[in-house]
Amino acid sequence: MINPFDDTYFMKKALQEAEIAFEKGEIPVGAVIVIENRIIAKGHNLTETLNDVTAHAEMQAITAAANFLGGKYLQNCTLYVTLEPCQMCAGALYWSQISNIVYGTRDLERGCINLNSKLHPKTILKGGIMENEAADLLKRFFIQRRNLN
């Protein structure tokens, strides 16, 4: 029997959030936070909408998850995010003590891996889940943006 709650299932949910961001004219990054196979928080980029450089998908999801759980620590939670977290988001994820981070595609310029950002020592990082779909959405966004200017 196939487990309906696998990394692909939850990454699809994060991609749905990224599509919402795309439709709003935001850089299409989406995130969901899961505990015990249950989505407890969703987020997508809102930097343009909120005029706030910190309004990344991960930050939105972290805040929503902390509110849901009634505490600031996200132990036993998994973040699914379509793009490798940036240094700012990696810092927030460090402080949240999130257990797992699963990302779609790498961010070779601003991603936490290339910048040697520190995650919590107990955090497990896994990448490449639905990588092509996440990368294609970003490419489509930037092509459309270039053609509008």
Q: Is 89 annotated as a binding residue?
A: yes
Q: Known catalytic residue: 48?
A: no
Q: Is the dihedral of CA 52, 24, 64, 42 positive or negative?
A: negative
CB 43 within 8 A of CB 98: no
Q: How far apart are alpha carbons 92 and 115 in whole angstroms? A: 15
Residue of 99, 102, 97 whose CA lies nearest to 129 = 102
Q: How far apart are alpha carbons 52 and 101 in whole angstroms? A: 24
Q: Is 44 annotated as a binding residue?
A: no
Q: Which of 17, 19, 23, 58 is catalytic?
A: 58
Q: With residue 6 as reference, give the H or E element that holds it.
A: none
Q: Is 77 annotated as a binding residue?
A: no
Q: Which residue positions form the known binding site?
A: 56, 86, 89
Q: Give catalytic residue positions.
A: 58
Q: Which residue positions form the known binding site for Zn(2+)?
A: 56, 86, 89
